[in-house]
Structure 1
């Protein structure tokens, strides 16, 4: 039952909101979201959809074809709009839906991508605006631009926690975002992507941390994994590598199973395991890139955001490793057989989950 509950879940992703001010006072708002999560009130406060009380309704919506889901959204749209507050020059704006681009059912391990495009028609030229996404939906990210053809005018992304309002954005005198602020913001995003959102990566790190209580061996494994996923994350972000999620996701799942199975062996080769972890780290880096690429970073902020995101991921890994090692050391100090009580049963469970995910992702 535990394996089944893990395997059916989609990660709950934050919405990405882009506001464009056009030359004729028209304002276009694009909301990239999981429409099924929005329609069932499943926000980012949940790690995965199966944690939410409306998970069964989410699954029903997730199985609908694009046109069917759009018809269901038509009945829900008024409630959705009630949860949004968009102001221009201090005046609340009415939003009209121009387009709803809903992806095919597709790969069940990732939330289906939907882009809702709304238009607003303020009475006067926008001097200031403010935005608030529904609190029920949790975290979101926001950026804006005064649109000019063939020019990149996007602001930096702003991370809005738990439905927090953007505050008043002065379009004539925008507050610059320093490299440090951008760095800290993406450290936070990177950390969240692993804890609590990234069950794949959490289980892999736990399996790796169960390998040994010798710090030298753990350091070799963690360093191998870090170097590998940093390499492919960077290459994927600049477009050198691009691999379909249909290939990456099953490989990530089987990598989880393999690392856990290694823990069941009496004699483990740290050299072999570090090589294997490095190879699997290359695959995990592609998984990290799939999320980060959605932010479409500006060239001048690429390095800062990439480093910040990666450090956030590393901090999450360190927390997991210390937690696992702390439990094992506690059991050992109590003169209990930590291998029999923790390493073996947890590794078996992780291996089963990883193998189940792998098979399901291959046939799903």
Structure 2
């Protein structure tokens, strides 16, 4: 059965939503091509962090988060998206192609995810002492499972080990040649900048030195304030069964589903990516959480409201339209995951 293609207005609205996805240093390493009844998602190599992410693993996680956000946006418009990864071997940066597989009224769960998108912000501030309910942690783990990933909740001993690894990795990264210059690239530029991490989004340093908050202040001409962070943080580790580029994209989609689920539950979220950014600490992180391939560490809790980081104008993320016609819905992709 042929499905009527979404209008260009619908597709552009979905892309406008997709750019709200999280990315390392708010680098926004994606571009989109809107065609007849489809959206192609490209990795933007010019925005990969060469020092911090030489393999492009975290770039692909960011692109995966944008892909999931695009899926949610299309689902809210009544289209169950068909998803094909790397549809053209001649275009290695063409990461995903989304088409309309069929019509379906959005479920309440899909609506909740969509409503959470503009309210999801990385929170770099201290969280309150109220523990995260076990039921909420279970919902977050289920969100990761729906995308083929695993989310483990760290117990007290594991939390201590994970945070120690994060501190070790953070210290080593800060001594890496070019790290400070790269950090400055994504924090400088003033209020008119439409990417990167502005001062208002950085948060304070941890006065107790418990949590390895990214030291964005190293690229600033003035110090950030300090504040005591929670002494017993809720730490979660997102992992995948493998470590291929497909697993990195899966991790990004799972990450965004987890973050949006947390937002819909009224939880604040922060990311601790340092221990997975170095091979040695990542291997030790895998041992600590009994997981083959940890991709990122999350911190969740009761946090103060924070503002969004800026986004580039939509036209800067768009590639010229064109290319081959969209595939029929019956052949639309190797994967048809739906944000139910």
TM-score with structure 1 setting the length: 0.22
| Bigger relative CO (Cα 8 Å, ≥ 6 apart) | 2
TM-score with structure 2 setting the length: 0.23
- Structure with bigger helix share is 1
Which structure has the greater CA radius of gyration? 1
